[in-house]
Amino acid sequence: MLTSDFDYELPASSIAQTAIEPRDSARLLRVATMENHKFSDLPGLLRSGDLVVVNRTRVRRARLVGRRSETGGVVALLLLRPVTETRWEALARPARRLRAGVRLEFGPISAEVMTTPDEGRVEVELEAADPIEDVIGSIGELPLPPYFHGTLDDPERYQTLFAKVTGSAAAPTAALHFTATTLEDLADAGVELAEVELEVGLDTFRPMGEGAISDHQIHTEKYVVPSATAEAIAATRRRGGTVIAVGTTVMRTLESAAIGDSVEPGIGASELFIAPGYGPRVVNTLVTNFHAPRTTLVVLIASLIGDDWRRVYEEAIRRNYRFLSFGDAMLIENLQSLQ
């Protein structure tokens, strides 16, 4: 299959440029029936005994803006992941004049470029008087998506209700729709909640290049499945309940940790590329946003609903659903294992 098979025309007017309030007033498209709902309707669409699984990762304030020590030229780093405590993989802008040995200054953080830029990616060694992660949190900016041109009254609007463990370069956006009221309604409906962690990188959202989808490399993302979550999934299976993944990050985490129709607790690394022909082993239902053209996320959706993905997306555009990070969501149910 070619990457062009997963392209579609996304009008600029369909990309959400505001963060809707309250969060659960976002729209929710039930794919099985193509019915329009509000996200606040979700508890009523699930059953007592079901299990909703969310990603508790928190977006790092990973955008640093500073200057080159020698020339004073402005440079920005987007820290992607730590290689060691002080050495980080980052995206640099502009990167064309950077080379190993160049020194950068970001207020209380000094940095040395350690590698030649590759498509803007570099490794940098960071130095600060205090622990690096603490300093990043105090001076860094939240890395909002490049296609979002609006403003947020509160940067916390780009964090989910479950955000606890700092480590991601982007938010697990399907969970941005939850409110305290949604959680109360889920509990009242007899639906349980469990958490995982997956450190969201940018490669998941990066458009694929030309050629076969099998040629596209998915970079590794660290995940954690707590013992309590593995036990909750096993209990859900025993009582005949449904496992609902909130977002593609949760789905990739659970499927990466799958053993049969359950999961193994612990820390792991996911390189899983869910594409047509893959049958979910753990996840029965997916809540997810509408994704950008020619991304691995659209491929994932196509693996779940087949060629209908294009009809669903076209209809969502026709009905004025809002796309991408601050957009609306859809509910994909009754996923069947092909394993």
Q: Which residues pair with 52 in a beta bridge?
A: 193, 244
How many C-alpha atoms does 301 have within 13 Å on its Cβ side?
27
Superfamily of domain covering 3-59+152-332 = QueA-like (3.40.1780.10)
Lowest mean pLDDT among 9-18, 255-264, 328-337: 328-337
Q: Which conformational region is residue 18 in: left (phi greater than 0), alpha (psi within -120 to 50 degrees), or beta?
A: beta
In this structure, are residues 50 and 236 in contact, taking their beta carbons and an 8 Å threshold? yes
In this structure, are residues 247 and 55 in contact, taking their beta carbons and an 8 Å threshold? yes
Q: Which conformational region is residue 260 in: left (phi greater than 0), alpha (psi within -120 to 50 degrees), or beta?
A: left
Distance between CA atoms of residues 97 and 101, nearest Å: 12
Structure tokens at 111: 């940095």
The residue-averaged pLDDT of 216-222 equals: 85
Q: Which conformational region is residue 335 in: left (phi greater than 0), alpha (psi within -120 to 50 degrees), or beta?
A: beta
User: Over pLDDT 70: what percentage of the chain?
Assistant: 98
Q: Where are the domains of the chain?
A: 3-59+152-332, 63-139
First-to-last alpha carbon distance for the chain, in angstroms, is: 20
- The pLDDT, as a whole number, for residue 339 is 40
Given a cut of 70, is residue 223 above it in pLDDT? yes
Give the model confidence (pLDDT) of 234-290 as tens digits.
999 999 999 999 999 999 999 999 998 899 999 999 999 999 999 999 999 999 999
- The pLDDT, as a whole number, for residue 36 is 98
Which amino acid does the sequence have at 135?
V
- The pLDDT, as a whole number, for residue 146 is 87
- Highest-confidence segment of 9-18, 132-141, 215-224: 9-18
The residue-averaged pLDDT of 220-233 equals: 96
The residue-averaged pLDDT of 302-331 equals: 97
pLDDT tier for residue 205 given thresholds of 50, 70 and 90: low
Q: What is the mean pLDDT of the chain?
A: 94
Q: Which conformational region is residue 272 in: left (phi greater than 0), alpha (psi within -120 to 50 degrees), or beta?
A: beta
Q: Which residues pair with 126 in a beta bridge?
A: 111
Distance between CA atoms of residues 13 and 64, nearest Å: 30
Helix/strand number for the chain, H first, E second: 7, 19
- The pLDDT, as a whole number, for residue 207 is 84
- Cβ neighbours, 10 Å, residue 264: 13
Task: Specify the pTM.
Answer: 0.93
Give the model confidence (pLDDT) of 35-74 as tens digits.
999 999 999 999 999 999 999 999 999 999 999 998 999 9
In this structure, are residues 158 and 59 in contact, taking their beta carbons and an 8 Å threshold? yes
Q: Do domains 3-59+152-332 and 63-139 have the same CATH topology?
A: no
CA nearest to 177, candidates 204, 159, 193, 201: 159
Query: How many angstroms separate the most distant Cα atoms in the chain?
Result: 65
- The pLDDT, as a whole number, for residue 184 is 98
Distance between CA atoms of residues 29 and 315, nearest Å: 10
Given a cut of 60, is residue 338 above it in pLDDT? no
In this structure, are residues 51 and 246 in contact, taking their beta carbons and an 8 Å threshold? no
pLDDT tier for residue 214 given thresholds of 50, 70 and 90: confident
309 CA to centre of own chain:
19
Domain boundaries 63-139, CATH class: mainly beta
